[in-house]
Amino acid sequence: MHVVITGASAGIGAALAQEYFSRQAKLTLVARRVELLEKLCAGRPAKLVQADLSDATQVTSWVDDAERANGPIDVLINNAGVQIIRSFLDTPFEDAERLFAIDLLTPLRLAQFVGRRMAARKTGTLVDVSSMAAIAPTPGMAFYNAAKGGLAAASAGLRAELKQHGLHVVTVYPDR
């Protein structure tokens, strides 16, 4: 089984990588900080991808190499994300745009790209890591709330839409 985890260098992504290592999965780990990915792997086999997922040109550029290394992607875990905890009025809009790129647009772009390949094989799982902020928005996090709410809504719609293609769509709502 080939599992891709974005935002794998720390937190939830690193914990997921550890779990899949224990299950002997073939892993592709994607993050900006490749040195943290190397430390996480500690000599265990994995395809490591250094990518800035706020840059649309880097979102899918690594997929072909990952599939050459580990075979078709069976599970895509869209985990990469950033938070802005700052008043709405004081947040530079460029920061908000970067957050939307990483937290909303990248998972959708990547899910569509990989999902087309999965649909052709009639199998695969797309996992979107949202947030409780999608359900219970928090003051001081307007842009994060919006992005995670958008991802959760898209994920729910895709669950029904992609089922006919043999795909599973899972939305995860961590509370921290």
Q: From the candidates 20, 100, 143, 144, which is the catalytic residue?
A: 144
Closest CA to 174 of 158, 143, 154, 151: 151
Alpha carbon 11 to chain centroid distance? 13
Q: Could you confirm whether 144 is annotated as catalytic? A: yes
In this structure, what DSSP letter does residue 23 have?
Answer: T
Q: What is the C-alpha separation between 141 and 88, in angstroms, rounded?
A: 7
Phi-psi group of 54: left, alpha or beta (phi > 0 → left; psi -120 to 50 → alpha; rest → beta): alpha
Alpha carbon 133 to chain centroid distance? 17
Catalytic residues: 144
